[in-house]
Amino acid sequence: MKIAVLKEQVDGERRVSATPETVKKFIALGATLAVETGAGDTASIADAAYADAGASVGDRAATLAGADIVLGVQGPDPAMLDGVAPGAWIVASLNPFAERARIEAYAAAGYEALAMEFMPRITRAQSMDILSSQSNLSGYKAVLDAAAEYGRAFPMMMTAAGTISAAKAFVMGVGVAGLQAIATARRLGAQVSATDVRAATREQIQSLGAKPIFVENVAGIEGEGTGGYAGEMSPEYQAAQAELVSGHIAKQDIVITTALIPGRPAPRLISAAQVASMKPGSVIVDLAVEQGGNVEGSVAGEVVVVNGVKIVGHRNVPSRLATDASALFSRNLFNFLNAFWDKEAGRPVLDAEIGDAIRLTQGGKLVNPRLLA
């Protein structure tokens, strides 16, 4: 069983899908590891470290030759996979809804594409969940990015020259990224509040020492989608939330938005009028900017200034912490393959619950129900 680790080709992608740690673990299972030269450079992992761990390091052609499994952070270009074994597995974050043509090309080439972001949110798959591991880092980095753009201090400071008030931070969307953003902003000394459409998150917000901001008088709308994700809100709830947020957001110094709905554009949480209501010098970080943005006026890959308010729209935020993000991502991949490794077969054999959830292509065609719907 040969596993290939490729150097990422997408602009701005600094992560890598395996580390020397996971290389050693795969070899211990009986696999052969091949790593493309320079694959770990942007994550501060030298080729020599992979070689020392037992991998062969070479050019792309040598890395792919006869590979049974190809690991990636983002899905590799199907045209660049010549030489892999027939029916090879492509295991990566494949962005199936936005990259439909690429998925169809995997099918046409006979590859079995496994989308790690489709991993079901069940207990035994927690250690395989790339969305959670990478979102955790995104929430942390969002607060640091806000602090870097904010022209003032986060904590209250009492000095002989007077007192500096603590920054007021508001987190919108309390999933994995939002919870980490709350915790990080609290650690930096900000006064933190948060909101979410899921009523179940109230206690999580309070447990981190933040103030929950919730719509109280719209009954029967919990916002709980499938698999623990938020669903779409009714027009009544959206109107009530907009009114509540408008009054709160005008008083904030920092706002971080994290709301995503799988397979759909990011919900619009902050309008241009709400941005205009904020004080000059305030900062908004839109973590959903690449899916259309939670904030009106945010631009992917840019920091824009609107009426003195900075709107931060960095792309691929986990990649901005490439070394740690790679360590977590690569462990997710190893945990996944290790959980299904059949020692007699010398390869992983998937079960129906997880295999059917993440498998996009098989036998030359699309097979995932979420793509066929």
Q: Where are the alpha helices (DSSP H) in the chain?
A: 20-29, 47-53, 60-64, 100-109, 130-149, 176-187, 202-207, 235-249, 272-277, 322-339, 352-358, 369-372
* Residues identified as active-site: 121, 126, 129, 132, 229
Residues 145, 54: Cα–Cα separation, whole Å: 37
Structure tokens at 281: 């010098």
Q: Return the DSSP state at 210.
A: P
User: Cα separation of 195 and 316, whole Å?
Assistant: 24
Tokens of 332: 């997710």
Question: H or E segment at 212?
Answer: strand 211-212
CA-CA distance, 341 to 325, in Å (whole number)? 24
Smallest Cα–Cα separation from 260: which of 175, 156, 329?
A: 175
